[in-house]
Chains A and B, each alone.
Chain A
Amino acid sequence: MTTVAGTPSDRSVLPITERYTVLGWVRRNLFSDLFNSLLTLVALAFIVFIARLLLRWAFFTAEWGVIPANFNLIMRGQYPATEAWRLWLVIHLLGGVVGITWRLISGQFSGAARILIAIPFVLMLIPFFSMGTRLNLLIAAAAAGAGFYIAGHMPIQRRGRAAAYLLLAYLVVMLILLRGIGAEEGPMPPVQPILWGGLLLSLLLAFFGITLSFPLGVLLALGRQSKLPAIRVISVIYIEFIRGVPLISLLFMGQVMLQLFLPDGFPLVDRVLRALVAITLFSAAYTAENVRGGLQSISRGQYEAAQALGLSTYQSTMHIILPQALRAVIPVLVGQFISLFKDTTLVALVGIFDLLGIARTILANPDWLGTQQEVYAIIAVLFWIFSYSMSYASRRIEQRLGVGER
């Protein structure tokens, strides 16, 4: 029987020599008694077995040619190649914005910043990238560095607010760049969202899903806790209904039935937007439940103190209750956002070419039939990288804020 571990502080009682030698560590953690040693051997065998299987497959069986050949599809779907410069511009700007924001919020060039700035350089090492791609990545990295440097030399008073405005402006610019503006023949012809695809679309769906469902979720959570019966009932019904049905049914309804609910002659809503609305409405109900958990964790005293100070319900909610409640549920919320990101794959089932949808079209191309393992493995890895970074970042934030410490 393996014993349930105590906290890492256990080791502090050991003599220094045992605490810090490799052998001591091995003996303590792997071979402390007979049972433990057996476990270690079994675990080792398991690891070797799995690693051999994976490495053999990756280096000998798998045919990776499908990935470079379809790389553009995987990244941006059907977004016209002639307009790809707009996507690069979005990425360059992102670099700049990240640099500036980092300086404004964190102020220093810490370890995490080094990781961020290393990303473009690591990507440049990918063998099949063209020189143009590498150059573009370099520009993004340079933009980040420049942003960081410039922001440090600007007399900005309210740094948090400045960062927020900057992000908002970036959002607007990004949408204009992606969507295009002006005539078909103009410098930036419109690109319909249905042509946005691949990783680009998955990230956009996740990003807007999160930014739109969060305020809605907070409102619903407040509604559910409200003293006003009508608002409470409506919130409860909404939350419980949405949480009771699978997302796929909402997506299907959006695609097949939305037009039925709208009056004749109503302009058609883009299919991507429909999917986004379904994802947002779905996620908001879950966000609401998570936020409610935070609201319930606030002690009565906080409400009473706020009231005693003469704050109105609105003021006490905005300044006293919500900040504390949200802080308490950051880990859960990030978990919710990660699952939203993962849930965007479901749009592939309603014929939208997100990362998974694009994977399926690649596999239908006669040149690449039978490469399921390679394509799906890459898709899984891409999703994994993004959601794992999100959960890693959230853990870091948690540690910094001291949330979740007992």
Chain B
Amino acid sequence: MQETHASQVRPPFYRDERVLGIFSQFLVVFVVVGLGLFFYSNMITGLREKHSVAISFSFLGQAAGFDIGESLIEYSRERTYLRAFVVGLLNTFQVAFLGIIFATALGIVIGVMRLSTNFLVSRIAAIYIDIFRNIPLLVLLIFWAQAVFLKMPRVAEAIVLPGPIFLSNRGIAIPWGIPTESWGTFLIVLGAGVVLGAAVAWFLREQGKRTGRMPLITLWFLVTVAAVGLVGWIVLPQPMTLDQPFLEGFNTQGGKVLSQQFMALLSGLIIYTAAFIAEVVRAGIQSVSKGQREAATSLGLNPAQTLRLIIFPQALRVIIPPLTSQYLNLTKNSSLAIAIGYPDLFAVAGNTILNQTGREIEMFTMIMGTYLSLSLLTSLLMNIYNRRIRLVER
């Protein structure tokens, strides 16, 4: 194409697409780099002249001086700013991880409900989706924190569910296991169980390939692991003791407390994201052509089997990419925790630490770097997974 073009009359250079291309690239690079340098030099001189400070991360080693309400690792006011940062990061991980799991579950349920033949069920799902997709998450979170969780009974009048589980406006206290010395051994036994389960799964799979009847491989895998785990639990001297919460003094003691802020953030994120996931799931299921379902029915599969063996595996290919971006959104949205007082990464680093140290450039570099790597990592993993199911399918 290019050659034939050139062999005829060459256009003047200002209309030659190649020349124009190179020129415009130079121009764009020049502008972008120039702007970058301009901002950077302003920042450096500004910092030096106005605040007489240089960019440095050494403050991270200093004692933080403030307390953080909830932490997955040991933390106190004598610990460093870096430690506080990590506390926030882990809190973000925690809420994002649980949020993704529950939002997926709820989203799938609502997505399937949306396609139900039962008019009422399908309407309920549709209304759910229409309501929560059209309310800003921030409004939802604040409403959830202030108008729902704070309106629960006081801790002294906490609702006690069997377990015991204490429900109050401080959060939810649940029994929690405390590992004993034999916990390590138990984990090893459990690991062995997983290996055994994998072997069983592989065997069943091979057998299935031969006979053409695929058993429920995942189920058998889980049964094997559970059986081995159960044996280990019985044989070993109590690998874990149960720590039950009880009411004493101002608060519940013992067990695991999921604070009101955490619960509000988590449920807000779940409810909001589930509405989007439901739509993703619905679109995915609908993308499987009607012929597939009819073919499955004519082969004698029942509706449940059709859904599990025919519809879902095919729908998954359509579902995975938008689902990934929903997961990423959920993780980034967890930064709205700042509005309801949950100490996530952004609240601790972008609010409290930044405030106490005044290190804007450093803190924002760290915060944005963290979110960025988190999101790049997730898309990488999801891309790999996506490619894998594509290969299996084709």
Residue among B29, B117, B133, B361 with most chain A CB within 10 A: B117
Instruction: Give the residue of B26, B28, B303, B368 whose beta carbon is less than 8 angstroms from that of A245.
Output: B368
State in angstroms the CA–CA spacing of A228 and B28 once bound together: 11
Say yes or no: is A338 at the interface (Cβ < 8 Å to chain B).
Answer: yes
Say yes or no: is B46 at the interface (Cβ < 8 Å to chain A).
Answer: yes
Say yes or no: is A384 at the interface (Cβ < 8 Å to chain B).
Answer: yes
A4-B285, A246-B332, A249-B364 given; A338·B25 CB < 8 A: no
Write out the residue numbers on chain A whose beta carbons fall within 8 Å of the beta carbon of B47.
Answer: 260
Whether A40 contacts B360 by the Cβ 8 Å rule is no
Whether B139 contacts A230 by the Cβ 8 Å rule is no
Instruction: Give the residue of B113, B137, B375 whose beta carbon is less than 8 angstroms from that of A243.
Output: B375
Whether B46 contacts A260 by the Cβ 8 Å rule is yes
- Nearest residue (CB) in A for B151 is A373
Residue among B22, B39, B138 with most chain A CB within 10 A: B138
Write out the residue numbers on chain B whose beta carbons fall within 8 Å of the beta carbon of A7.
Answer: 290
Interface size on B, residues (CB 8 A): 70
B162 to chain A, nearest CB (A): 23
Whether B375 contacts A345 by the Cβ 8 Å rule is no
Whether B138 contacts A346 by the Cβ 8 Å rule is yes
A39-B121, A243-B375 given; A312·B17 CB < 8 A: yes
State in angstroms the CA–CA spacing of A39 and B125 once bound together: 13
The digit string for B137-166, where 1 denotes a CB below 8 A from any CB of A, is: 111101100110000000000000000000
A46 to chain B, nearest CB (A): 7
Interface segment among B80-88, B335-343, B381-389: the answer is: B335-343
Say yes or no: is A257 at the interface (Cβ < 8 Å to chain B).
Answer: yes
| Chain A interface category by residue count | 35 or more
Whether B364 contacts A32 by the Cβ 8 Å rule is no
Say yes or no: is A333 at the interface (Cβ < 8 Å to chain B).
Answer: no
Say yes or no: is A361 at the interface (Cβ < 8 Å to chain B).
Answer: no
Say yes or no: is A263 at the interface (Cβ < 8 Å to chain B).
Answer: yes
B19 to chain A, nearest CB (A): 12
Whether A261 contacts B43 by the Cβ 8 Å rule is yes
Whether A29 contacts B119 by the Cβ 8 Å rule is yes
- Nearest residue (CB) in A for B306 is A4
Whether B139 contacts A43 by the Cβ 8 Å rule is no
Instruction: Give the residue of A4, A312, A373 whose beta carbon is less than 8 angstroms from that of B303.
Output: A4
State in angstroms the CA–CA spacing of A261 and B295 once bound together: 63
Say yes or no: is A126 at the interface (Cβ < 8 Å to chain B).
Answer: no
A203 to chain B, nearest CB (A): 13
Whether A257 contacts B135 by the Cβ 8 Å rule is no
The digit string for B347-379, where 1 denotes a CB below 8 A from any CB of A, is: 000100010000011001001100110111000
Say yes or no: is B216 at the interface (Cβ < 8 Å to chain A).
Answer: no
The digit string for B29-56, where 1 denotes a CB below 8 A from any CB of A, is: 1001000000100110111010000000
B289 to chain A, nearest CB (A): 9
Write out the residue numbers on chain B whose beta carbons fall within 8 Å of the beta carbon of A342.
Answer: 134-137
Write out the residue numbers on chain B whose beta carbons fall within 8 Å of the beta carbon of A227.
Answer: 21
Write out the residue numbers on chain B whose beta carbons fall within 8 Å of the beta carbon of A253.
Answer: 364
Instruction: Give the residue of A43, A243, A257, A387 whose beta carbon is less than 8 angstroms from that of B118.
Output: A43
A229 to chain B, nearest CB (A): 7
Whether B134 contacts A388 by the Cβ 8 Å rule is yes
Say yes or no: is B274 at the interface (Cβ < 8 Å to chain A).
Answer: no
Whether B375 contacts A4 by the Cβ 8 Å rule is no
Interface segment among A70-78, A87-95, A374-382: the answer is: A374-382
Query: Would you list which residues of chain A between 223 and 253 have a CB under 8 Å from chain B?
Result: 227-231, 234, 240-241, 243-249, 252-253
17 contacts between A and B (CB under 8 A): A2-B116, A3-B117, A4-B116, A4-B293, A39-B120, A40-B118, A43-B124, A227-B21, A234-B28, A234-B32, A244-B376, A245-B368, A246-B371, A247-B332, A256-B354, A342-B134, A372-B143
9 closest cross-chain pairs (CB), A and B? A342-B136, A29-B119, A244-B372, A43-B120, A230-B25, A387-B134, A244-B375, A246-B335, A246-B332
